[in-house]
Amino acid sequence: MNAIVIPLSQDTAEKVARIAGERGVSVETLMSDVAVHMVEQFEARELYLREAERGRHEVELALELLRRP
């Protein structure tokens, strides 16, 4: 496991600790979950962009299929 150090103001650190406490997890677990979620969102966006690019040349074919009776 790796560690990432993020400088936070005292106010922000206290708020993060309060959020973690309300969720019943440690600050470390909360921040790990946030990081995992961020990576998943990034990967989903990358997949979307790749698929959009792959299908970009097929627009006319799709429109032709829609025009069929």
- Percent of the chain topping pLDDT 70: 100
Burial environment of residue 27 by CB neighbours within 10 A (0 to 12, 13 to 18, 19 or more): middle
pTM: predicted TM-score of the whole model, two decimal places: 0.73
> pLDDT tens across 31-59, in order?
999 999 999 999 999 999 999 998 888 88
